[in-house]
Amino acid sequence: MNRVTCETAKKNNTYDITIGNNLLKNADKYISRFIKGKKVAIITDSNVAPLYADILKDALSAYQVFTFIFPAGEASKNFSTINSIYSFLCENDFTREDTLIALGGGVTGDMCGFAAATYLRGVPFIQIPTTLLSDVDSSVGGKTGYDLPCGKNLIGAFYQPKAVLIDTDLLTTLKPETVSDGMAEVIKTALLSDKDMFDLISEKQLDLTEMITRCVHFKSTIVQADELDSGIRGILNLGHTFGHAIEKLGNYKTYSHGQGVAIGTVIACKIGEKLGLTKKGIADLAKNTFEAYGLPTLPPYSAQEIFGALKNDKKANSSGIKLVLLNDIGSAFLHQTDFDTLEKLLTEVI
Ligand code: GLY
């Protein structure tokens, strides 16, 4: 079992991320010191609830446990679900002392975190992620929120959890494509973090606990440096500008988030190489590693289609867009580019 500490100064909260196997069954041992009141609400979805909600409930038998289940999927990530969580908490007389637990993937964690940030102006919450993607990314760092019909994650708050419990056993029930999806964020993190980690992942040398620990440790250092996402935290979006465009062009059905990130990261590396800013050969290294984990790397749309879709990206500004580029593995930076240059670069690399 490993432990990483995330210290977030602005929101004044330091929390531990515990990573290992066989943790859910013994959740009380790891999280009860953060539960001050008598009541706990497990917020989970219709896929995860039948597998894990009772195990968690049994582990927390010292508390009065309530379970809120919503239909699994991104379509539930809206204000209607948040409103139902508020009503559920109100009907069960939850106070500021009571605790919410997000048991699920990114959709669950983001919504439970937002409900916790806003109900009674803030109640404690704990993250128990159940997908690789939420283990290594969304459960750490305090980004919470929900989607609007005109865009994803447009409403939100920074609100840090009291603890994160990552049980690697929970990944055994995932479909292989869901694991691949998470591997895209793992490989992205390795490219941002260091060559040693990248090589170990490319060679499939790290066990799950070690791989997740290294990702979470890297993310924590970035979150600690820029909790409110006004600078360096932006590098965590490596490949995401192009990835989001690809997800959007496929109506969020054809390409998953991880597939978009894999294709988008290779595009970003090729653009960096074209500009002479990224060391030659990085795009090929990234491509080979994504492919080794079953992820696509070839852009399925034309440069013009991708450019059209990313022009409206919420991260775009009036003079263009900030791209995340690599000098080398382990050294990322933000590069402002205007739209005309970006369109030209895209036609050159796609
Ligand atoms: N998922 C990127 C971040 O937490 O900033």
Examine the domain organization and report whether 295 and 225 are in the same domain.
yes
Q: Which ligand 1 atom sits closest to the C-alpha of 137?
A: 1
User: Which of 146, 173, 200 is the last residue before a domain boundary?
Assistant: 173
Examine the domain organization and report whether 150 and 18 are in the same domain.
yes
Predicted confidence at residue 312, as pLDDT, reads: 73
Residue whose CA lies nearest to ligand 1 atom number 4? 141
Q: What is the pLDDT of residues 256-284, one digit of tens each?
A: 999 999 999 999 999 999 999 999 999 99
Q: Which of 127, 136, 152, 219 to mutate to test the pocket of ligand 1 (most atoms within 8 A of CB)?
A: 219
Q: What is the CATH number of the domain that holds 160?
A: 3.40.50.1970
Domain ranges, residue 283: 192-349
State how many domains the chain has.
Answer: 2
Examine the domain organization and report whether 156 and 91 are in the same domain.
yes
Instruction: Please give the Cα distance from 295 to 258 (Å, whole number).
Output: 8
Q: 33: Cβ–Cβ under 8 A, 6 or more apart, which residues? A: none
Domain contains 187: no
Examine the domain organization and report whether 124 and 256 are in the same domain.
no
227 alpha carbon to ligand 1 midpoint, in Å?
10
Q: Which of 8, 132, 220, 237 to mutate to test the pocket of ligand 1 (most atoms within 8 A of CB)?
A: 237
Q: Which ligand 1 atom sits closest to the C-alpha of 222?
A: 5
312, 300, 286, 295 alpha-carbon torsion, rounded to 10°:
110
Examine the domain organization and report whether 15 and 96 are in the same domain.
yes
Pocket of ligand 1 (CB under 6 A): 137, 141, 143, 229, 233, 236
pTM of the model: 0.95
Examine the domain organization and report whether 266 and 153 are in the same domain.
no
128 alpha carbon to ligand 1 midpoint, in Å?
17
User: Which of 126, 142, 173 is the last residue before a domain boundary?
Assistant: 173
243 alpha carbon to ligand 1 midpoint, in Å?
14
Examine the domain organization and report whether 38 and 138 are in the same domain.
yes
User: Which of 173, 205, 224 is the last residue before a domain boundary?
Assistant: 173
Examine the domain organization and report whether 196 and 165 are in the same domain.
no
Domain contains 179: no
Instruction: State whether residue 349 is helix, strand or coil.
Output: helix
182 alpha carbon to ligand 1 midpoint, in Å?
14
Examine the domain organization and report whether 221 and 138 are in the same domain.
no
Domain contains 146: yes
Examine the domain organization and report whether 37 and 9 are in the same domain.
yes
Contact 83, 63 (CB under 8 A): no
Cα 317 → chain centroid:
23
146 alpha carbon to ligand 1 midpoint, in Å?
14
- Residue by residue, pLDDT tens for the chain (350 residues) are 999 999 987 666 899 999 999 999 999 999 999 999 999 999 999 999 999 999 999 999 999 999 999 999 999 999 999 999 999 999 999 999 999 999 999 999 999 999 999 999 999 999 999 999 999 999 999 999 999 988 889 999 999 999 999 999 999 999 999 999 999 999 999 999 999 999 999 999 999 999 999 999 999 999 999 999 999 999 999 999 999 999 999 998 999 999 999 999 999 999 999 999 999 999 999 999 999 999 999 999 999 999 999 887 767 787 899 999 999 999 999 999 999 999 999 999 99
Examine the domain organization and report whether 129 and 205 are in the same domain.
no
Examine the domain organization and report whether 201 and 121 are in the same domain.
no
Predicted confidence at residue 151, as pLDDT, reads: 84
